[in-house]
């Protein structure tokens, strides 16, 4: 299978296309001056995440339980907190960057190319912050990004974005906030390296999942 075709407003991840150098495209984003790929640890955004209950709790009962050996006791009630719970590091990082983007660009239109993570409550919180979320593909023509204009802010979700989407938004001169989990990007690097050696990449994942689609866009030849 080959990479998808790029149009001026739509991106369809299932259509064959000419080869695109994903590594070169990613590097080109850094040269635009409109690309952010690391959180800035903005205190105001952290406070709002805490208020909304979408971050790594630093206050309240959960924080207290962590300090007390992951247990809380009240009378005859004893509650134990699992050692591993909540968001993974990459997801928490992505949500934080989305909040920071909204705070950094208060007067700009902000979009996300898909759900930031698959958590309805978190996505609803972002909508309440007036962040537009493009849902999964609707029909054979793919997603229509025609509503996104120059100067808007586009967030790439934790699952990543396709090479074609990166090209589209780079050329449209939008502000890009890339929240892709670094562990996902590491897979992209591997796919790219082996692709240059003429290997076929075997991608183990749901065919239409955002992370699978993004990873496939970096491959020359692949099987899902």
Q: Report the catalytic residues.
A: 211
- Asked if 168 and 11 touch (Cβ cutoff 8 Å), the reply is yes
DSSP run (H or E) holding 143: strand 143-144
Would you say 79 and 73 are in contact if contact means Cβ atoms under 8 Å apart?
yes
Q: Dig out the tokens for 189 from the structure.
A: 């690097």
Q: What are phi and psi of 63, to 5 degrees?
A: -65, -40
Length of the chain: 224
Q: How far is CA 176 from CA 23, 86, 98, 160, 169, in A?
A: 17, 27, 11, 12, 8
For residue 47, the tally of other CB atoms under 10 A from its CB is 13
DSSP 4: P
Q: Is 27 helix (H, G, I), strand (E, B) or coil?
A: helix
């Amino acid at each position: 299978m080959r990479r998808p075709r790029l149009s001026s407003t739509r991106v369809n991840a299932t259509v064959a296309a000419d080869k695109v150098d994903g590594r070169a495209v990613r590097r080109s984003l850094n040269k635009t001056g409109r690309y952010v790929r690391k959180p800035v640890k903005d205190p105001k955004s952290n406070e709002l995440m805490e208020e909304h209950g979408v971050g790594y709790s630093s206050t309240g009962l959960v924080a207290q339980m962590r300090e007390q050996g992951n247990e809380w006791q009240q009378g005859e009630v004893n509650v134990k907190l699992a050692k591993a719970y909540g968001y993974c590091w990459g997801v928490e990082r992505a949500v934080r960057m989305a909040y920071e983007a909204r705070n950094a660009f208060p007067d700009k239109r902000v979009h996300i190319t898909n759900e930031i993570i698959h958590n309805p409550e978190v996505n609803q919180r972002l909508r309440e912050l007036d962040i537009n979320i493009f849902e999964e593909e609707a029909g054979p023509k793919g997603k229509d990004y025609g509503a996104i204009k120059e100067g808007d802010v586009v967030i790439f979700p934790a699952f990543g974005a396709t090479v074609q989407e990166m090209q589209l938004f780079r050329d449209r001169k939008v502000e890009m906030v890339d929240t892709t989990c670094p562990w996902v990007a590491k897979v992209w690097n591997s796919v790219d390296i082996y692709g240059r050696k003429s290997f076929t990449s075997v991608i183990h994942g749901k065919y239409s999942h955002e992370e699978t689609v993004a990873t496939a866009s970096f491959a020359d030849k692949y099987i899902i």
